[in-house]
Amino acid sequence: MIRNERISPVQLSFIMIGFIFGSSAIITPAVSAYQDAWLAYIIGWIGGYILIGIYAYISILNPSKTFIEILKDVFGKYIGSIIGIFYIWYFLHLAGLVFRNLGEFMIVSIYTETPLIFIIISIALVLAYSLKKGLEVIARVGQIIVPMMLILVISIFLLVMGHYEVKNLLPFLEHGFLKVLKVSFSVLTFPFGETVVFLMIFPYLNDKKDLFKTSYISLTVIGMILLSVVMSNLMILGADMLNRQIFPSHITISLIPGIAVEPFIAINLIIAASMKITMCLYASLIGIAQLFGLDDYKPFINPVVAIAVVISIWVYDSLSDMVRWAGEIYPYYVIPFQIIIPLLVLIILKIKRRDGSSAL
């Protein structure tokens, strides 16, 4: 492992909460299930416990190693390095996607005259600075700003409660259970499966025995909050309007008379998306340094942030292209990264352990 940085279980918890909240509060694939979005979300959320459990277990079997090091141990130096390169690409790509989500939301909802690139670069400069300060500083900042974000979300949820229409949840399973199952898979991959990034962060936890507890508590807290966001949007907007909106939370909030709370959505998104992008970039930086046997990632911060910014502009032609790709292609694209390879790694590690203990 590279640096002597350590974070506490509480800090990891807040980072995970911010990460999972990420861009999910404004873009959620569950809306494709129409009035059954809440059920699709719950099924995906339950699947998230299984995935995070796999990631935590892999880390517990190799407490001081990041996923890149584990890949080299499991698959050998060369194949492990090739798979590691693909993971570094995935982390960078994910950072670029979230940059783009954030930028598009800002120019659609608030900064309508501002060029997209200006918003993305402004945020990138701040994140580059935070990466230079290191994981401990990022974790401490997360400890302060993520609770603020949670308070804002809960406050907004309480403000809109009076506008709910329960009839918007009916008719139940109108499009069939198979549709719900298909959408729940999209929910599983975005956002819960993206916690595969934390396989690069878990080794920095100071007390590994709390890893499962921390992960599951974080998932429970953020799962409930995101469920409340999905339910709020569904019960206020209704299934048809929910499915047609690109950023339903923004529309939901703007319907509250008398109070202008739309900026709070943007604040939440900046906090959460910044946490998500920072973790993705940190994971890719650690990955690059470890892949090439270097003991410091800091020289690569600016080029890596620049690559993420470039990817964010390059990756889509338009907002509608972004939404289409996120809904139709992303869930399948991430299957190897989030499910197949981690499962394979876990199986091989267990077999090696069993063979090792039987040889004794």
Partner 1 sequence: MIFGLIIIYILILIFDIPVILKTNNRRKTIIIYSVLLGVSFIISILLMLEKMPTTPSIVIEQIVKTVFMR
Does the footprint of partner 1 cover residue 113 (CB under 8 A)? no
**Residues counted in the chain:** 360
**Rounded least distance, CB 299 to partner 1, Å:** 5
Nearer to partner 1, 171 or 299 (CB): 299
Q: Is 90 a binder of partner 1 (CB under 8 A)? A: no
Residues 137-196 that bind partner 1 (CB under 8 A): none
The reply to whether 259 sits near partner 1 by the rule CB under 8 A is: no
> Over the range 218-253, which residues count as b (16 or more CB within 10 Å of their CB) and which as e?
bbebbbebbebbbbbbbbbbbbebbbeebbbbbbbb
Interaction between residue 3 and partner 1 (CB under 8 A)? no
323 HSE (CA, 13 A, CB side)? 17
What backbone phi and psi angles, to 5 degrees, belong to 164?
A: -70, 145
Q: Does 129 bind partner 1 (CB under 8 A)?
A: no
- The answer to the question of residue 224 lying near partner 1 (CB under 8 A) is no
Asked whether position 325 contacts partner 1 by CB under 8 A, the answer is: yes
Q: Does 288 bind partner 1 (CB under 8 A)?
A: yes
Angle, helices 37-61/211-237, rounded to nearest 10 degrees: 170
* Sign for the pseudo-dihedral over CA of 135, 140, 144, 150: positive
Q: Does 313 bind partner 1 (CB under 8 A)?
A: yes
* Least distance from partner 1 to the Cβ atom of residue 201, Å: 21
Who's near 37: CB < 8 A, 6+ residues apart?
A: 28, 30, 31, 183, 230, 234, 239, 242
* 127 scored as a contact of partner 1 (CB under 8 A): no
Least spacing, CB of residue 324 vs partner 1, in Å:
10
What Å distances lie between residue 8 and 137, 189, 207, 210, CA to CA? 12, 27, 7, 10
**What whole-number distance in Å separates Cα of residue 146 and Cα of residue 22?**
11
292-311: contacts with partner 1 (CB under 8 A): 292-296, 298-300, 302-304, 306-307, 309-311
Should residue 329 be labelled a site residue for partner 1 when binding is judged by CB under 8 A? yes
| Residues at the contact surface with partner 1, assessed by CB under 8 A | 93, 288, 292-296, 298-300, 302-304, 306-307, 309-311, 313-317, 321, 325, 329, 332-333
